[in-house]
């Protein structure tokens, strides 16, 4: 047996070689958004784990990894719909590196040849927005419902998986702009509490069933009713007035 094998030098050399190969193998790493381009749906990303550089004297020095330009940003998407959110500088993300060069696919879509033969390269990352470090962890996460929410939880839309309840909460305004028809069929109760203003825009609103409003109602325009209208216990259809010469008038006609 060779003395180098007895001393473990070959094993050490192989180990160091494997470590060297792994150092150039990019898989996934946390980062944060530096800039976001909503037109190209790409971001400039700073990776948040420092790299180790060996100096000529054998000593090690930690350095920031280079900024990654033009990283495609991933939003939940499928079936012709996309969930987007306003990506801001400082938002944390997870960069997932493709095992092959993505340039051909990114430029043309579909199935393309890889223009370069690079493998697990730092230039082939995708930014997935959402991972949270402990200083940036949000609180008050619902353990019963699915929510689309602001980070502070003040505004959210939630769905209960078994009761099928849908709840909308906001301290701000609710606005709806409708180009077609709004169709509503409700067999249960609809409860809505809004701290701001509810604004709706449509050619017509058709509601079947009782509507209860607590608070003042202001209408700019005419009100048409096929039934009676009662205010403070007085019927609009059957009320009367004192006559000019005594007695009362008949009902309106």
CATH number of domain containing 26: 2.40.50.230
For CA atoms 232, 237, 242, 247, give the dihedral sign.
negative
- 53 within domain boundaries: yes
- 225 within domain boundaries: no
Contact 120, 97 (CB under 8 A): yes
- 35 within domain boundaries: yes
- 160 within domain boundaries: no
The C-alpha atoms of residue 163 and residue 158 are separated, in whole angstroms, by 12
Residue 105's CB is within 10 A of a number of other CB atoms, namely 17
How do the pLDDT tens digits run along the chain, 253 residues long? 555 555 557 777 676 666 666 666 889 999 999 999 999 999 999 999 988 777 777 777 888 899 999 999 999 999 999 999 999 999 999 999 999 999 999 999 999 988 888 998 999 999 999 999 999 999 999 999 999 999 999 999 999 999 999 999 999 888 888 777 777 666 667 776 666 677 777 677 777 777 788 878 888 888 888 888 888 888 888 877 777 776 677 667 6
- And the tokens for 25? 């193998």
- 101 within domain boundaries: yes
- Pairing verdict, β 92-97 and 125-129: antiparallel
- 199 within domain boundaries: no
Range of the domain at 80: 1-137
Contact 120, 102 (CB under 8 A): no
Give the pLDDT confidence score for residue 55 in this predicted structure.
Answer: 75
3-state DSSP call for residue 5?
Answer: helix
Q: What phi and psi values does residue 243 have, to the nearest 5 degrees?
A: -80, 160
- 231 within domain boundaries: no
Give the pLDDT confidence score for residue 95 in this predicted structure.
Answer: 97
Residue 68's CB is within 10 A of a number of other CB atoms, namely 22
Give the pLDDT confidence score for residue 185 in this predicted structure.
Answer: 66
Q: Cα torsion at 113, 114, 115, 120 (round to 10°)?
A: 180
Question: pTM score, two decimals?
Answer: 0.70
Number of domains, the chain: 1
Residue tagged 């007695």 (tokens): 247
Phi-psi region of 118 (alpha: psi -120 to 50; beta: other; left: phi over 0): beta
Residue 232's CB is within 10 A of a number of other CB atoms, namely 4
């Amino acid at each position: 047996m060779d003395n180098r094998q007895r001393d473990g030098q070959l094993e050490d050399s192989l180990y160091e070689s494997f470590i060297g190969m792994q150092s150039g193998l990019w898989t996934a790493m946390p980062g944060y958004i530096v800039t976001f381009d909503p037109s190209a749906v790409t971001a400039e990303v700073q990776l948040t784990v420092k790299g180790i550089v060996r100096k000529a004297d054998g000593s090690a020095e930690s350095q920031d990894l280079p900024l990654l330009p033009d990283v495609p940003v991933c939003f939940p998407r499928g079936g012709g719909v996309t969930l987007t959110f306003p990506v801001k500088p400082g938002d944390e993300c997870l960069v997932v590196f493709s095992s092959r060069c993505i340039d051909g696919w990114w430029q043309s879509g579909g199935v393309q040849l890889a223009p370069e033969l690079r493998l697990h390269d730092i230039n082939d990352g995708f930014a997935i927005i959402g991972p949270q470090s402990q200083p940036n962890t949000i609180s008050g996460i619902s353990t019963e419902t699915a929510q689309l929410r602001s980070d502070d939880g003040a505004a959210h839309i939630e769905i209960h998986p078994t009761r099928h309840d849908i709840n909308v909460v906001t301290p701000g305004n609710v606005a709806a702009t409708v180009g077609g028809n709004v169709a509503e069929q409700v067999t249960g109760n609809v409860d809505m509490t809004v701290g701001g203003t509810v604004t709706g825009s449509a050619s017509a609103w058709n509601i079947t069933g009782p509507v209860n409003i607590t608070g003042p109602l202001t209408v700019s325009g005419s009100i048409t009713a096929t039934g009676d209208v009662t205010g403070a216990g007085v019927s609009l259809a059957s009320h009367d007035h004192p006559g000019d010469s005594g007695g009362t008038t008949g009902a309106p006609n």
